[in-house]
């Protein structure tokens, strides 16, 4: 049996489209191209397909189909939820979120601050967990919404959303959760969670990019972010992306059907990968709460190396992994998530995320393990930050760290000046 051209361990960034999903989409790329809002028969068939997919996505989160709004992506869903919470409560101009949200949400919070809103970014503990007592103290009479991710995309750490939502209800504050990383990994029941808004993105679920979903709890006032036609019951303008919606629906069905089996299988692979790395590669540790996280994710710090160098050498042997969110690739800054957890910039830059999915196998984990150790050792052998460097008597390790930090800070400032110009 021929080996694949690459070994994919970056499923928190995106996932391949499942063959069943592609098969469901193809008829609507070839023949089912009618506008679902039109009155003739072929359009009615397309409309039924859209509503069938809506029912499947609603079933995935245990919602009423009327509570599901299709969007273009998770980012739009998140923006729409916070936008609506602010627009429907003009007297409330305070938003609470966390310092470890996806960069898209952090950036939207910064945008709101420039518009005159007040945004509080809650810190997290060293294991990435959320302090609910601090959250309770932070909520004010003018707080419009608390927006907290359910599971972190970099560490996999899970926040207690049911408790967050209960706290919000007791304070009369709307609650939104970014659940983009959760489908297919954990069971979702919006009724049990008690949230007012919940966001999903199809491409994290073996469906295509360019389609997302926002759950809006029934009777929650909603002000659209995208204003236009009557689509989505007047809550999101724009002609529906039918093939992608159909693909999303099929992916939701698959996620429902294989959740229990895949949870145990993928967790077993992740645990074996993680435990072997910790046992065989010295100076490594796991970032985040190891007991309360997604079953597929591990974020590992490798001392005395740069993650970007690790990823480059892994890529040369066909292994795909990441050092953080795909949406921040190219940034010179260390991970804001890891920095919020108290890691130093140097240590944060040595962290690699491995996120497994339905396509990963025991053989692929073995392949990764066979290459990772030698790669880390190769990089440490030439690293002046390594205390065991053959020339370490010529180096002041702390001075080398400080010099490295200064150079990176200068590079970041230079990049900012270029962007500003």
pLDDT tens readout for residues 198-245: 999 999 999 999 999 999 999 999 999 999 999 999 999 999 999 999
Cα–chain-centroid distance for residue 318? Answer: 23
Structure confidence at residue 365 (pLDDT): 99
Structure confidence at residue 407 (pLDDT): 54
Phi, psi dihedrals of residue 322, rounded to the nearest 5°:
-150, 170
**Beta carbons of 267 and 290 less than 8 angstroms apart:** no
- Torsion of Cα atoms, 275 then 383 then 345 then 373, to 10°: -10
Structure confidence at residue 420 (pLDDT): 44
Q: What are the tokens at 144?
A: 């419009």
Q: What are the tokens at 160?
A: 């207690």
Q: What is the DSSP letter of 301?
A: E
Please determine whether the domains at 19-255 and 259-420 fall in the same fold group of CATH. no
Pairing of strands 284-286, 297-302: antiparallel
Q: Is 189 exposed, middle or buried (0-12, 13-18, 19+ CB in 10 A)?
A: exposed
Q: What are the tokens at 387?
A: 């205390």
Q: What is the CATH code for 19-255? A: 3.40.640.10
The per-residue pLDDT for range 340-376, each reduced to its tens digit, is 999 999 999 999 999 999 999 999 999 999 999 999 9
Domain 259-420 has CATH 1.10.10.10: no
**Beta carbons of 177 and 197 less than 8 angstroms apart:** yes
pTM beyond 0.85: the answer is yes
Residue positions annotated with a catalytic role: 327
Whether 389 has a pLDDT exceeding 70, the answer reads no
Which range among 194-198, 274-278, 417-421 shows the weakest confidence by mean pLDDT? Answer: 417-421
Domain boundaries, the chain: 19-255, 259-420
Whether 153 has a pLDDT exceeding 60, the answer reads yes
Whether 414 has a pLDDT exceeding 80, the answer reads no
Structure confidence at residue 58 (pLDDT): 99
Query: What average pLDDT does range 264-280 have in this prediction?
Result: 98
């Amino acid at each position: 049996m021929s080996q694949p051209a690459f070994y994919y361990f970056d499923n928190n960034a995106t996932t391949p489209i499942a063959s069943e999903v592609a098969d469901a989409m193809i008829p609507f790329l070839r023949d089912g191209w009618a506008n679902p809002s039109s009155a003739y028969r072929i359009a009615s068939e397309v409309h039924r397909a859209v509503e069938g997919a809506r029912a499947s996505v609603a079933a995935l989160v245990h919602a009423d189909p009327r509570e599901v709004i299709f969007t273009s992506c998770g980012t739009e869903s998140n923006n729409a939820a916070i936008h609506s919470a602010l627009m429907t409560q003009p007297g409330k101009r305070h938003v609470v979120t966390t310092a470890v949200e996806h960069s898209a949400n952090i950036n939207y919070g910064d945008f709101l601050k420039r518009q005159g809103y007040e945004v509080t970014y809650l810190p997290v503990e060293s294991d990435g967990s959320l302090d609910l007592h601090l959250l309770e103290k932070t909520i004010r009479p003018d707080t419009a919404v608390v927006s907290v991710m359910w599971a972190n995309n970099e560490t996999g750490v899970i926040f207690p959303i049911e408790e967050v939502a209960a706290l919000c209800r007791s304070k009369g504050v709307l609650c939104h959760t970014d659940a983009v990383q959760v489908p297919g990994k954990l069971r979702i029941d919006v009724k049990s969670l008690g949230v007012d808004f919940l966001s999903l993105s199809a491409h994290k679920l073996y469906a295509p990019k360019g389609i997302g979903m926002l759950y809006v709890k029934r009777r929650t006032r909603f002000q659209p972010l995208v204003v236009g036609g009557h689509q989505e019951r007047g809550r999101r303008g724009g002609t529906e992306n039918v093939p992608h919606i159909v693909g999303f629906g099929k992916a939701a069905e698959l996620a429902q059907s294989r959740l229990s089996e895949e949870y145990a299988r993928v967790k077993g692979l992740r645990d074996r990968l993680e435990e072997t790395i910790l046992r065989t590669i010295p100076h490594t540790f796991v970032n985040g709460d190891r007991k309360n996280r997604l079953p597929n994710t591990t974020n590992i710090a490798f001392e005395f190396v740069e993650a970007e160098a690790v990823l480059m050498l892994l890529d040369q042997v066909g292994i795909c992994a990441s050092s953080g969110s795909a949406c921040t690739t190219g940034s010179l800054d260390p991970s804001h998530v890891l920095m919020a957890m108290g890691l130093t910039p140097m240590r944060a830059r040595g962290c690699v995320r491995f996120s497994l999915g339905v396509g990963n196998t025991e053989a692929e984990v073995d392949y990764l393990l066979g290459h990772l150790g030698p790669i880390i050792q190769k990089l440490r052998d030439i690293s002046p930050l390594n205390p065991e460097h053959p020339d370490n008597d010529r180096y002041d390790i702390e001075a080398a760290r400080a010099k490295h930090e200064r150079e990176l800070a200068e590079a970041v400032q230079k990049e900012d000046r270029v962007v500003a110009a």
